[in-house]
Amino acid sequence: MNSGRVAIVEDDRELLDQMRWALKSTWDVSAAEDATAGLALLSEDPDLFLIDLRLPPSREPREGLDLLRAIRERRPELPVVVMTGERERSFALKAVELGAYDFFRKPVNPAELVLVLGRALERRRLAAENRALREEMSARQSFGELIGASAPMQALFRAIEKVAPSDATVLIAGESGTGKELVAHSLHRGSPRSSGPFVAVNSSALPETLAESELFGHEKGAFTGAVSSRTGKFELAHRGTLFLDEAATLSAAVQAKLLRVLETRQFERVGGSRTIAVDIRLLVATNEDLEKKVSAGEFREDLYYRLNTVALRIPPLRERRGDIPLLLDHFREKWGRHHRRPPRRFSPAALECLSAHSWPGNVRELEHLVEMLTLMVEGEEITPDDLPAAFSKRGRAAAPADSVRPGESLPDAVSRFERELVAGAMSRAGGVKARAARDLGIDANQIRYLCRKYGL
């Protein structure tokens, strides 16, 4: 039975013939007599290399070592076994340091040769299986840029797979920082529109007076300051996907026009009379309860049902704390590369503190924390002393014990806690929103939205 293909680089023809004879019953053998011809054997896709260190033209050990380096650069997964003379142990050890799997001394013992090559091939097989297993595990623990092995995230991944190929409007619900735009990107990439544009709009960042113009465009002279015509986001997303974030903040006028576009797939620019037809898929995100806003008369009921064709909910981080180590590994590597710093590992005590944290800012808060620690921590290990006070046991002890008051629902308690966090950050920042946003680990758009939401 054939074990595989071995490439042998040896200039002693008599020794080469001996090795061919010893291996012929179990291996396919390719051979070369110098380093240049040996490197060319890579094109035959061998399973491993067997090389002599003393090769032409110099017959110095550096010839074999240079060949070893070249093989490792081109095919780092290939096992390489080297042959050395009786007094060349130091060069053999150097070869192992450069990545050789093993070495043996001449003269060659056929039984030893078969044993060493068999072990090398088994190592390659195990490495390939481990790599495939890691890739399979990674695939199960991520979906695009979304990461999570927990049951809620696995359910979300399955739902995205089902919905992505359709053209259905999707309402993506989730708290700030959970990754709503990442879900939208995953839906776009899995759709027939993936080669078309993906246009994202943050509704909360649009001034009310300009929101209609931003979404639908305007003609020159439509209003003061409209010195030229402008293409809106709907036109830019033609034959692609439009992602409308924080849809709950849209004004009544924009809601009415959005409903008409969803019904007719047509609209006019502000100040224009020409009807423009668009072919888009709409994805909408919100961190508010739209049903409550409909009941309060703050959001159109007919528009809500148009948007809520398919609803996807992203779980907050506190509902999937088991994913925290996975997310930490991802962000450690990401920000370590970005800032050219070695990734810091988290001590068991630090992990315990992070697992106990309430994570009001969700995954975004975790990512900002890891980036800060990557820059600020000098040691190789992050301990509880390196964490901000809010993450320490002392900081948690200072929090009120009665987190949920008698008769108070969980959503109301979460809203109260969120308001207290924002109010405290604004107070510490002297009313400067940008400073408060940095304190909370959120961005400027979020702090403006939260201040409006809670009247701060």
pLDDT band at 398 (very low <50, low <70, confident <90, very high): very low
**Are residues 259 and 354 both part of a single domain?**
no
**Are residues 150 and 245 both part of a single domain?**
yes
Name which residue leads in pLDDT, 239 or 142.
Answer: 239
Crossing angle between the packed helical segments 444-453 and 410-428, to the nearest 10 degrees: 120
Rounded Cα–Cα distance for residues 217 and 268 (Å): 8
Q: Are 382 and 346 in contact (CB under 8 A)?
A: yes
CATH of the domain at 250: 3.40.50.300
**Are residues 396 and 279 both part of a single domain?**
no
Q: Which structural domain range is residue 324 located in?
A: 318-453
Among 53-67, 129-143, 297-311, 341-355, the minimum mean pLDDT is found in: 129-143
**Are residues 96 and 199 both part of a single domain?**
no
Q: Is residue 43 part of a domain?
A: yes
pLDDT value at position 396? 46
pLDDT digits (tens, 9 = 90+) for 18-35: 888 888 888 899 999 999
Rounded Cα–Cα distance for residues 103 and 65 (Å): 12
Residue 133 confidence (pLDDT) above 90: no
CATH of the domain at 36: 3.40.50.2300
pLDDT digits (tens, 9 = 90+) for 352-394: 889 888 898 899 999 999 999 999 988 888 999 898 887 765 4
pLDDT band at 249 (very low <50, low <70, confident <90, very high): confident
Q: Is residue 179 part of a domain?
A: yes
- Give Cβ neighbours of residue 436 (< 8 Å, ≥ 6 apart): 422, 425, 426, 428, 429, 447
**Are residues 57 and 78 both part of a single domain?**
yes
Q: Of the segments 46-50, 414-418, 426-430, which one has the largest average pLDDT value?
A: 46-50
| 242-246: average pLDDT | 92
- The last residue of one of the domains, among 268, 290, 315, is 315
In the chain, the largest separation of any two C-alpha atoms, in whole Å, equals 93
Positive or negative torsion for Cα 318, 320, 322, 328: negative
Among 95-99, 157-161, 404-408, the minimum mean pLDDT is found in: 404-408
**Are residues 169 and 116 both part of a single domain?**
no
Residue 261 has a CB neighbour count (10 Å cut-off) of: 19
Average pLDDT over the chain reads 85
Residue 316 confidence (pLDDT) above 50: yes
Q: Is residue 280 part of a domain?
A: yes
pLDDT value at position 136? 55
- The last residue of one of the domains, among 136, 168, 190, is 136
pLDDT value at position 442? 81
pLDDT digits (tens, 9 = 90+) for 250-296: 888 889 989 999 888 898 888 888 888 889 999 999 988 899 999 99
CATH of the domain at 326: 1.10.8.60
**Are residues 181 and 305 both part of a single domain?**
yes
Crossing angle between the packed helical segments 444-453 and 433-440, to the nearest 10 degrees: 100
Q: Is residue 267 part of a domain?
A: yes
Q: Look at the chain and report how many structural domains it folds into.
A: 3
- The last residue of one of the domains, among 315, 349, 380, is 315
| 312-337: average pLDDT | 92
Q: Is residue 361 part of a domain?
A: yes
pLDDT value at position 225? 73
Percent over 70 (pLDDT), the chain? 91
pLDDT value at position 145? 84
Burial of 234 (0-12, 13-18, 19+ CB in 10 A): buried
Residue 68 confidence (pLDDT) above 80: yes
**Are residues 179 and 304 both part of a single domain?**
yes
pLDDT value at position 142? 67
| 38-61: average pLDDT | 92
**Are residues 166 and 255 both part of a single domain?**
yes
Percent over 90 (pLDDT), the chain? 35
Q: Is residue 268 part of a domain?
A: yes
pLDDT value at position 65? 93
Q: Is residue 141 part of a domain?
A: no
Burial of 114 (0-12, 13-18, 19+ CB in 10 A): middle
Residue 104 has a CB neighbour count (10 Å cut-off) of: 17
pLDDT value at position 132? 64
**Are residues 48 and 185 both part of a single domain?**
no
Strand intervals (E) in 296-436: 310-313, 345-346, 381-382
pLDDT digits (tens, 9 = 90+) for 137-166: 455 676 778 999 888 998 999 999 999 999
**Are residues 29 and 118 both part of a single domain?**
yes
pLDDT value at position 403? 52
**Are residues 272 and 383 both part of a single domain?**
no
pLDDT value at position 401? 42
